[in-house]
Copies of this chain bind each other. A is one copy, B any other.
Amino acid sequence: MRNNRVHNQLRDIEIIPNFTKHAEGSVLISVGDTKVICNASIEERVPPFMRGSGKGWITAEYAMLPRATETRNIRESSKGKVSGRTMEIQRLIGRALRAVVNLDAIGERTIWIDCDVIQADGGTRTASITGAFVAMVYALGTLVDKGTLKSIPITDYLAAISVGVLPDGMEILDLEYAEDSIAHVDMNVVMTGKGEFVELQGTGEEATFTSAQLTKMLDLANEGLQQIFEMQKQAIHDYKEKLDCK
């Protein structure tokens, strides 16, 4: 556990763009041993409830390979239904990304985000958000390359990280699975480049947390996310100048 990391230290993060060839944006993100393929696809139409609105839409799906985890999980396609946990995560990813995109500017298009975890070690939903942001930049970038859009209508950077409280009361940044499974509190923070919150989900696992603990966790999250924004900037360097938020 922690592998010699100090409490405010991120795991090694790697963001590899252009991972597969068909998707408009395709990223492999590794956060320690957590590895997620984030693909962004452009579809030239929107869901029925938005037709004629002139606006675009972003929707996300999330899944794990059966053996992404230590014990094999049954495929959700075999079970014939998607679990509550999966639904929660894919709703979160979609909502988070929509907060930093100017949906009016992308026109009646849907951006499909597919986050497929090929190896899991805690923090798969936050890694998915961080990687999906980069994939989305690439996908929207193809619309700029083709001349369909003049710029990439993204209003700010977006990334996510987990923070928590260990049983000994220590607040920590970026929980790996072994930590996550014992933590008394687990909080996911989705933040913009400017440092504003998009989403905050804190849960006491058969436990509670105080205002003071909340403050410390939010500081840790902010510290970690600033480093991650830098990595995202590297990963999208070709498209950086074309972003609305630059």
Residues of chain A at the chain B interface (Cβ within 8 Å) = 20-23, 26, 33, 35, 37, 39, 41, 43, 61, 63, 65-70, 72, 75-88, 90-91, 95, 98-99, 103, 112, 114, 116, 118-120, 156, 187, 192, 194, 196-211, 214, 218
Contact = CB atoms under 8 A, between A and B. Distances in A.
A210 B218 CA distance: 12
A43 B71 CA distance: 9
Main secondary structure of the interface of A (DSSP, over half): mixed
Contacts of A80: 80-81
A44 to B, nearest CB: 11
Contacts of A208: 99, 156, 192, 194, 196-198
Nearest to A201: B201
A82 B206 CA distance: 26
A204 B210 contact: no
Choose among A198, A199, A210 the residue with the greatest number of B CB atoms under 10 Å from its CB. Answer: A198
A29 B244 CA distance: 40
Given A67-B114, A103-B206, A201-B202, 11 more contacts: A20-B68, A61-B75, A66-B112, A76-B77, A77-B86, A80-B80, A82-B84, A99-B207, A194-B208, A196-B210, A199-B202
B214 A65 contact: no
A78 B88 contact: no
A187 B76 CA distance: 30
